[in-house]
Amino acid sequence: MSHAQPLPAHPRTIDELLRLRAAEHPDTPIVAHPTSDAPDSYQTHTARQLDEYTTRAAHHYRALFGNRTRNAPEQVVALLSESDLDYLVALLALGRLGFTVLCLSTRLGPEAIDSLLTQTGCTALVHGTNHQPKVDRLAQRTTLRTATLFSEYKSGPVTELTIDLDPEFETNTSCNILHSSGSTGFPKPIRNIHKSYLYNASHNLGMRGFITPPLFHNHGMASFLRALHAAKTLYFYHPHLPLSTRHLLATIRHLGPNLEVFYGVPYALKLLATPEGIELLKRFKVVMFGGSACPDELGDQLVAAGVNLVAHYGATKVGQLMTSQREPGDHEWNWLRPPPALVPYMRWRPVGDAYELIIADGWKSRVVSNQPDGSYATRDLFLHHPKKKDRFKYVGRLDDWIVLVNGEKINPVQFEHTLLADERIAQAVVFGQGQLAAGLIIVPARGCETLTESEFLDLVQPTIDAANARAEAYARIDRDYIRVLRPEAIEDCPRTDKGTVIRAAFYKKFEPLITSV
């Protein structure tokens, strides 16, 4: 594949999409990144510039890792860094060389990264310099070729890059690999196919946007590709700053009329639920959230104030499925509407008062199947609208996963198992659905009746520390978020015949205690 080859009207790969936009809209800004902590430091980069950056960086990475050849098996290169311009250029450059990029969350620990490298057969990794200590620890566990992110791509000659790849073959290969949070252990890789991602990108709002999620999250990656497809500018939140009310207000206040759509997680909306924040959100044509459910109280507050709040539901494995886009005057922001094209592929399996969504075989954005008939069971639960058959409300996961208000997903099982290995702990249950941080309820074992809560926690603190050490940073639990019951409470804990806690029933029984934390 060479830049000299004519480009098709309908791109078959992400690289063809980039080169097509560079040819058709060379001077249109596609992305904007901050160059300092100041909100007025945003610098835009056009389609032509992105294409040139990609070519220069591709030459650099090819000298290090070579390139994939025509119709060759998948070759994976991992990418570990904050989601800045260097990251984006590396992502595009490695893709131009025919590699499949494994996009690693910066929150993952070495053990989780090592597992993903093994699962994907990845033997090369590009990383930001601030992740060198983590990379050094990885090097002790596996044979890995590593390189730091290339940043000298903005100037210099743009030398022709000829790579022998067949776009008709490439369109059915993986353009990137994202990963799950790990429902039963380490995270699992999720491959995204070029043609499926391009189909998903073609369904966009055609608006200039501002986004808080990073590129290694599906919401961030998909939003960038939609911006590229629509030839509209996407402004990225500063990847090295914490998500805070002060930084969000300053950035949005400065960018002002440049923005039409806001993309974020419910946690970002919570941070902006101030008088000034709400006024700024009202200026957007659309305020779209995804990643987790938005609390009804927060959403109702924003909508009542005049914010055009739109829920977005999708998954890495099936693409974008539904939004709550609606006509003016319709305030049902938390009821999702499927597009007509999706309806024939939707199946519902009753689960109590809710329904699990299953996507049938044939849906274009579906990249994996987990059912014998080729369908994909999402394990996501919805309520059906009592009056309108075409509306569905997302209420949570079938799994044990806990989704914090910022969209981070926690698998509590390993944490709980570490605690239960301590003979002084009879039961341990992590909670935190829709909250800012995870919490923990512990039932002491018999024999601890004479201890106060503080004395008991002092006794088992080394075990808690061990569990926290194995958890990702966002899943660690502070002592202030731990509550200790009396040993006799074990009799009140809903459990299966095997002694396993029944999580939903436990949460319901101890709801007053949980909500008080």
Q: What is the pLDDT of residues 58-78, one digit of tens each?
A: 999 999 999 999 999 999 999
Contact criterion met (CB below 8 Å) for 176 and 102: yes
CA distance 92 to 185: 30
Q: How confident is the model at residue 497 (pLDDT cuts 50, 70, 90)?
A: very low
Angle at 281 between CA 262 and CA 390, to 5 degrees: 65
pTM of this structure? 0.77
17: which 2 tokens? 């999409």
Residue 141 has pLDDT above 70, yes or no: yes
DSSP per-residue letters across 351-369: ETTEEEEEEPTT-TT----
pLDDT at 291: 77
Q: How confident is the model at residue 499 (pLDDT cuts 50, 70, 90)?
A: low
CA distance 433 to 420: 21
Average pLDDT of the chain, as a whole number: 91
SS3 call for 260: coil
Residue 304 has pLDDT above 50, yes or no: yes
Residue 201: name the closest of 167, 234, 156 by CA.
234
Q: What is the pLDDT of residues 108-121, one digit of tens each?
A: 889 889 999 999 99
374 burial (CB, 10 Å; 0-12 / 13-18 / 19+) is exposed
Contact criterion met (CB below 8 Å) for 336 and 322: yes
pLDDT at 184: 46
Question: What is the pLDDT averaged over residues 475-480?
Answer: 95
Which residues lie closer than 8 Å to 177 by C-beta, 6 or more apart? 76, 100, 101, 102, 103, 120, 189, 190, 191, 192
Q: What is the pLDDT of residues 352-387, one digit of tens each?
A: 667 999 999 999 888 789 999 999 999 888 989 999
CA distance 94 to 75: 10
Question: What is the pLDDT averaged over residues 435-443?
Answer: 96
Q: How confident is the model at residue 5 (pLDDT cuts 50, 70, 90)?
A: low
Dihedral pair phi/psi, residue 176, rounded to 5°: -160, 170
Residue 397: name the closest of 387, 411, 384 by CA.
411
Residue 315 has pLDDT above 60, yes or no: yes
Contact criterion met (CB below 8 Å) for 145 and 125: yes
pLDDT at 495: 72
Q: What is the pLDDT of residues 384-428, one digit of tens each?
A: 999 999 999 987 777 677 889 988 878 787 788 788 878 799 899
Which of 88-97, 191-200, 249-258 has the highest mean predicted lDDT (pLDDT)?
88-97
Q: What percent of the chain has pLDDT over 90?
A: 69
CA distance 348 to 358: 6
Q: How confident is the model at residue 461 (pLDDT cuts 50, 70, 90)?
A: very high
Contact criterion met (CB below 8 Å) for 168 and 74: no
pLDDT at 396: 72
Window from 97-101, 424-428, 459-463 with minimum mean pLDDT: 424-428
Question: What is the pLDDT averaged over residues 294-320?
Answer: 88
Q: What is the pLDDT of residues 6-63, one digit of tens each?
A: 788 899 999 999 999 999 999 999 999 999 999 889 999 999 999 999 999 999 999 9
Question: What is the pLDDT averaged over residues 500-512?
Answer: 85
Residue 343 has pLDDT above 80, yes or no: yes
Domains and their CATH numbers in the chain: 412-516 (3.30.300.30)
**Which residue in the block uniquely carries the two structure tokens 């004519």?**
6
Contact criterion met (CB below 8 Å) for 348 and 355: yes
Contact criterion met (CB below 8 Å) for 413 and 184: yes
CA distance 188 to 120: 9
Backbone torsion region of residue 79, taken as left when φ is above 0, otherwise alpha when ψ lies between -120 and 50, otherwise beta: beta
Residue 300 has pLDDT above 60, yes or no: yes
Which residues lie closer than 8 Å to 129 by C-beta, 6 or more apart? 148, 149
CA distance 411 to 185: 8
- Can you point out the beta strands (E) in 227-308? 234-236, 261-264, 286-289
Q: What is the pLDDT of residues 171-228, one digit of tens each?
A: 999 999 998 765 445 788 999 999 988 988 998 999 999 999 999 988 899 999 999 9
Tally of CB atoms within 10 A around 181: 22
